[in-house]
Amino acid sequence: MKRALCAVALLALACLLVRAARAGLGGDYIDPIGKITSQDEASYAHSAIAMAHSGDWLTPRFMGRYALYKPPLLVWTAAVSSKLFGVSRLSLRLPITILSALALGLIFLWAAEVAGWQAGAVAGALVLSNHLWHTLAALCMTDGLLLAFSIAALYALFCDPWLESRAALFGFSGAVAAAILTKGIAGTLPLAVLGLYWLAARRQERPTFLRVCLAAALALALAAPWFAYQLVAHTRWFWTEHIAVEILGFGAGAPPQTSQENQALFYFMRLAVTDPLLLAAAAVAIPAFLRELRGRRAAAVLVAAWVTVTLAAVLGWQYRNAAYLLPLVPALALIAAVWGPFRTRQYVPWMLVALATGFLIKTSAPEQPWGLDYRAGTVQRAAPVLHDYCAQARGNELIILDLADDLYATALPLARLRYAAVTPVATPAGPYSMPFEEMGIEVTVEQFNDLARYTPAFRARLREWGLDSGAPIATLITARTEAELAALVRAHPESDFLITGAYRDAVKSAPQEPINAAADYVLLLSRTPVGRASAPAWSCRM
C-alpha cells in the first residue's frame, strides 16, 4: 500500500504542478458561475514575498500594514519556499501542491482500507478530476492547505478511532493545530467531527471522553502561541482585524454578498455544476451508505460526521464562498467509492475507464465550469499590461485605479505601488472593514495632494495601533468624482497611472504620456521617468 500511496501522490502532484506553473497569480475563477476570481492569492503572495525579504516571520504584512485577518501558516510555507527556490508563482504554490497531493494519497488509502484498492482508485480519481479541488489545491490560498490538514487529522482518527496510540493522538492534534494556524475557526472543524463521531459511534469504536478532551486540548495548545503573541504584541490591531472583522463581522454578521441566491441553492448549484459526476456517484451510493450508518459502523459514522459538520459550517457561515465546498469533495468521493456499486470487480474497470474518460473530457473543455484548465494564462485582463510595465523597471510610483488587477500588481517587483478608487459616497468603517481612513492608509485626493502635511498625524495614529511605520500611508486614494480623479492625475505628473477604460475621457488632458495598453486600460506614463539602479528583484511574470 505504501507504493500505491506514493504512486497516487506523485500522479496528483504532477497534475497540480503543471497547473501551478502555468496559471498566473489570481488567474483563475474560484466561483466559475459567479466569475469570482482568486483575488486573495495575490495578497497572500505579497505577504509571503515581504516576509521572505524582511525577515519578520511572526507578523504577516500587506503593503506595509499588518495583515492579521488570517493566521500565518500559508504565508510561512510560501515564504520558506520562496526563500529556498526564489520568488515565482510555482515556488509560492509548491508547499500547497505537495501537501494536497499527499492528502489525496491518504484518501486513496482510506477507501482502500475499507473496501479494497479498487475503491481507493475510484476515490482518488473522483477527487483528482474535481474542478474545485484541482483549482484550489494548485493556488497559494488557505483552502487547499486547510483541506490537506483536515484530511490528515481525520485519517489519523480513522486509523485509530480510540486515539490510543501516540502516533494517532499527536497526528490528529498536530494536524488540527496546523489547520487552525491556516484558517482560524475553520481549522477547528475536525474537532467538531471528533465530537460528533464520539456521540454517534458505538462505545467499543470510539475514544474515551478523556482522550477526546486531551486531543482537543493538545491541538489548541499547539496552535495557541501565535495567537497569544499577536494578542500581546499587537493587541488593538489583532482584536479588531482578526476577531471583530474576520470572525464576528464576516462569520456571525451579514456581510455584503457576491450573489443574492438562497444559501442552500447557492452551494448546491456550485457543487452540481462544477462536478455533476461526483454528485451523481455519491447519490447512487447513499442507500448502501445509510444501511452502514444505521448499523453505526465506524467508517460510515466518521464520514457522516465529516459531511454533517461541513454542511453545518457552510450553511451557518454567513458569507457565501464556493471555496467552502472544498471539504465536501473528498467526503463525497469516499461515499461514492466505498459504498457505491462501482468498487466491485465486475464494475470497477468500467468505472475507472469512465473516470479516465471524464478526466480527458474535462481537460478538453477548460472553459466550462466543470473543466480542468492546464492552459498557460490568466483571467486577469490587466496582467499582460502589468508584465510589460514591470519589465521597464521604472522607478516612478504606479497608481492603479479601482483594483483593476485584483491586487495582482502587489506581487510584482515594482518601485512603489498605490491604488485609487472612485467612490461617490464615503463609506465609514463598519463591522466588515478596518478604520483605514483614521490611520491614513486610505486617504482622499485632497489629503494625498498635500500628504506631507498629514503624514505626521497619520504616523501618530498608526503608532497608536502598534505600527511604527509610514509605509502603508496613502496606499489607497479615494476620489469622489471623475473630476477629482482627473485632478489627482494632473497634480502628480511624476506618477504613472493605470486607468480603466471607463475613465478614458476623464484623463484625456493628463500631463503623462497616454498609452492604450489594451482595450480596457490606459497606461499613463510620467514624462520624467525615474530609472532603477538594478533589474527587477524577481520575475515580472507572476
Q: Can you tell me the distance from the alpha carbon of 433 to that of 102, in angstroms, rounded to the nearest whole number?
A: 36
Looking at the structure, tell me whether residues 220 and 116 fall in a common domain: yes
Looking at the structure, tell me whether residues 350 and 404 fall in a common domain: no
Asked which of 330, 364, 398 is the last residue of a domain, the reply is: 364
C-beta separation of 127 from 330 below 8 A: yes
> Does residue 531 sit within a domain?
no
> Does residue 112 sit within a domain?
yes
Looking at the structure, tell me whether residues 329 and 405 fall in a common domain: no
Q: How many C-beta atoms lie closer than 10 Å to residue 480's C-beta?
A: 15
| Residues contacting 159, CB < 8 A, separation 6+ | 168
Q: What is the pLDDT of residue 343?
A: 66
| Residues contacting 526, CB < 8 A, separation 6+ | 396, 493, 494, 495, 496, 512, 513
| Residues contacting 224, CB < 8 A, separation 6+ | none
Residue 133 structural domain: 2-364
C-alpha cell, 226: 501565535
Antiparallel, parallel or unpaired: β 61-62 and 36-37: unpaired
Looking at the structure, tell me whether residues 190 and 217 fall in a common domain: yes
Q: What is the pLDDT of residue 238?
A: 95
Looking at the structure, tell me whether residues 405 and 340 fall in a common domain: no
| Residues contacting 347, CB < 8 A, separation 6+ | 341
First vs last C-alpha separation in the chain: 38
> Does residue 77 sit within a domain?
yes
Q: What is the pLDDT of residue 425?
A: 65
Pick from 60, 274, 89: which is nearest to 181 by CA? Answer: 60
Looking at the structure, tell me whether residues 352 and 395 fall in a common domain: no
Query: Collapsing DSSP states into helix, strand and coil, what is residue 444?
Result: strand
> Does residue 339 sit within a domain?
yes
Q: What is the pLDDT of residue 427?
A: 59
Pick from 121, 180, 170: which is nearest to 150 by CA? Answer: 180
> Does residue 67 sit within a domain?
yes
Q: Can you tell me the distance from the alpha carbon of 417 to that of 389, in angstroms, rounded to the nearest whole number?
A: 12
Q: What is the pLDDT of residue 56?
A: 87
C-alpha cell, 356: 479516465
Torsion angle (degrees, nearest 10) of CA 69, 71, 77, 82: 30
Asked which of 331, 364, 397 is the last residue of a domain, the reply is: 364
Q: Can you tell me the distance from the alpha carbon of 63 to that of 390, in angstroms, rounded to the nearest whole number?
A: 17
Pick from 37, 44, 83: which is nearest to 67 by CA? Answer: 44
Q: Can you tell me the distance from the alpha carbon of 386 to that of 496, in angstroms, rounded to the nearest whole number?
A: 12
Q: What is the pLDDT of residue 252?
A: 61
C-beta separation of 83 from 309 below 8 A: no
Distances (CA, A) of 167 to 155, 191, 233, 275: 12, 17, 34, 35
Q: Cα 221 to the chain's mean position, in Å? A: 25
Asked which of 364, 391, 425 is the last residue of a domain, the reply is: 364
Number of H-type helices and E-type strands within the chain: 21, 11
Looking at the structure, tell me whether residues 487 and 520 fall in a common domain: yes
Q: What is the pLDDT of residue 244?
A: 86
Q: What is the pLDDT of residue 248?
A: 79
Q: Can you tell me the distance from the alpha carbon of 496 to that of 394, in angstroms, rounded to the nearest whole number?
A: 9
> Does residue 424 sit within a domain?
yes
DSSP string of 110-146, one letter each residue = HHHHHH-HHHHHHHHHHHHT-HHHHHHTTSSSHHHHH
Q: Can you tell me the distance from the alpha carbon of 188 to that of 289, in angstroms, rounded to the nearest whole number?
A: 26
Q: What is the pLDDT along the chain (542 residues), one digit of tens a residue?
A: 778 888 889 999 999 999 999 999 988 888 888 888 888 899 999 999 999 988 889 999 999 999 999 999 999 999 999 999 999 999 999 999 999 999 999 999 999 999 888 889 889 999 999 999 999 999 999 999 999 999 999 999 999 999 999 999 999 999 999 999 999 999 999 999 999 999 999 999 999 999 999 999 999 999 999 999 999 999 999 999 999 888 877 766 566 666 667 788 888 889 999 999 899 999 999 999 999 999 899 999 999 999 999 999 998 887 788 889 999 999 999 999 999 887 666 776 777 788 888 888 888 888 898 999 898 888 888 899 999 999 988 999 999 998 778 899 999 999 899 999 998 766 555 566 788 999 999 999 999 999 999 999 999 999 999 999 999 999 999 999 999 999 999 999 999 999 988 888 888 888 988 887 677 888 999 998 887 757 788 888 88
Looking at the structure, tell me whether residues 432 and 306 fall in a common domain: no
Q: Counting every residue, how long is the chain?
A: 542
Looking at the structure, tell me whether residues 145 and 293 fall in a common domain: yes
Q: What is the pLDDT of residue 32?
A: 87
Q: How many C-beta atoms lie closer than 10 Å to residue 410's C-beta?
A: 24
Query: Which amino acid is residue 427, in one-letter code?
Result: T
> Does residue 372 sit within a domain?
no
Pick from 347, 361, 412, 352: which is nearest to 386 by CA? Answer: 412
Q: Can you tell me the distance from the alpha carbon of 248 to that of 252, in angstroms, rounded to the nearest whole number?
A: 5
> Does residue 378 sit within a domain?
no
Looking at the structure, tell me whether residues 345 and 414 fall in a common domain: no
**CA-based radius of gyration for the chain:** 25
**Domain count along the chain:** 2
Looking at the structure, tell me whether residues 392 and 299 fall in a common domain: no
Q: What is the pLDDT of residue 160?
A: 95
Q: What is the pLDDT of residue 19?
A: 92
Looking at the structure, tell me whether residues 144 and 198 fall in a common domain: yes
DSSP string of 373-429, one letter each residue = ---SB-S-TTHHHHHHHHHTTB-SEEEEETTTTTTGGGGS--SEEEEEEE-SS----
Q: Can you tell me the distance from the alpha carbon of 151 to that of 327, in angstroms, rounded to the nearest whole number?
A: 9
